[in-house]
Structure 1
């Protein structure tokens, strides 16, 4: 068996979809014999984990599986290895950096027990 990293993408559709398009890009760790098997497994995960629910405004929210656009073989697992990278081009860089700093501070403030 080998380890693979797969990107599984969902579109988030609220109500009739008349909103800013949203997509959730999930990075999944998959164990399989071949890359083709890993791709099939990631695709199956995407299909199985589609779901819908009503939000607090009673609008239907659908997580619609789109596809698996990327899959990479991990030859070995090493401490600190890069699993995924994405270039972000925010409209407001200062707000983006402030958001990242806030998220990091919140993570650092969590009790140690919550981080396990």
Structure 2
């Protein structure tokens, strides 16, 4: 029971990886209620920075095709940064079953500024044999 926190990150070669940098932080509190010691509440936040090489390549492809508008069929979206937040509750009604409803918020999905932010409702089920 109690709170645990985590922090992780990755740093990749921009020439060979679409995602250059990613940093994730999370908090989880197990046993939020005395009657439910195996349940937990979690919150996570992830920040991603896309590769500058990839973004320059997308810009170059747009120059070659003459695409200047995001809504043009031949436009290649130019990636930048993205943020994802998640809040969930994991319920363990019996020892072999875990149910996890959650809510995510995606700011700039895929790192593309022109994409609309998104809310995602999630449901995870774990069955242990």
- The alignment's TM-score, normalised by the length of structure 2, stands at 0.27
Please identify which structure carries the higher helix content: 1
Higher relative contact order (CA 8 A, sep 6+): 1
Larger relative strand fraction: 2
The TM-score with structure 1 as length reference comes to 0.29
